[in-house]
Structure 1
């Protein structure tokens, strides 16, 4: 039997809010991942914040926020001032130090 609203229009499934098991599982995975990443002890007395960015397939990628410059970084290095990004730690890659020279 078709449902009709007060205006005499037939109600369709497209007009209803839809909840799928896949969407709930995706949300649960994201929440578990976020809580895990926030709870990991990095061995630093400084607070390391996390941020996310959207990726093409609709998901998200997690990043550290450097405590000094607040840039996103996938890697933090233990320098003299604690965990920071490669720019703030002030070191360079060996391959860029000797550019054009034979190692």
Structure 2
């Protein structure tokens, strides 16, 4: 009597034909979604409704950015104007650093 081998039972299931689910990729996707929803909810909780956007980094990560409510550019820092209380980037609010203000002048101490 001939012994049976796995190949005698039909086509074997090949590893390459199966969908791969890696725990690291799954956790990274969940972390990014969780991070984005957490940041959005924190902003809404303090009364600021600002859009978030993302960009990919060189090391397969994601960087979060604010979307300026005035010009819709992505920025890392937003400012609230102390007089008009408008929120925007420093370009939209026409804000300058102290060094830019005194450029070409002798700065006193």
Segments of 5+ residues of structure 1 without an aligned counterpart are 5-9
Provide the TM-score with structure 1 as the length reference.
0.80
**Structure 2 counterparts to residues 37-76 of structure 1, below 5 A:** 37-41=39-43, 43-44=46-47, 47-76=49-78
Counting matched residue pairs gives: 97
- Quick check: 1:86 aligned with 2:90? yes
Larger radius of gyration: 2
Provide the TM-score with structure 2 as the length reference.
0.76
CA distance in 2, matches of 1:31, 1:75: 21
Could you say what secondary structure the match of 1:101 adopts?
coil
Shift, 1:52, TM fit? 0.6
RMSD: 2.1
CA distance in 2, matches of 1:44, 1:76: 14
Structure 1: 4+ residue segments shifted above 6 A: none
Segments of 5+ residues of structure 2 without an aligned counterpart are 1-5
Could you say what secondary structure the match of 1:51 adopts?
strand
CA deviations 1:49-68 (Å, max 9, x no partner) are 11111111111111111111
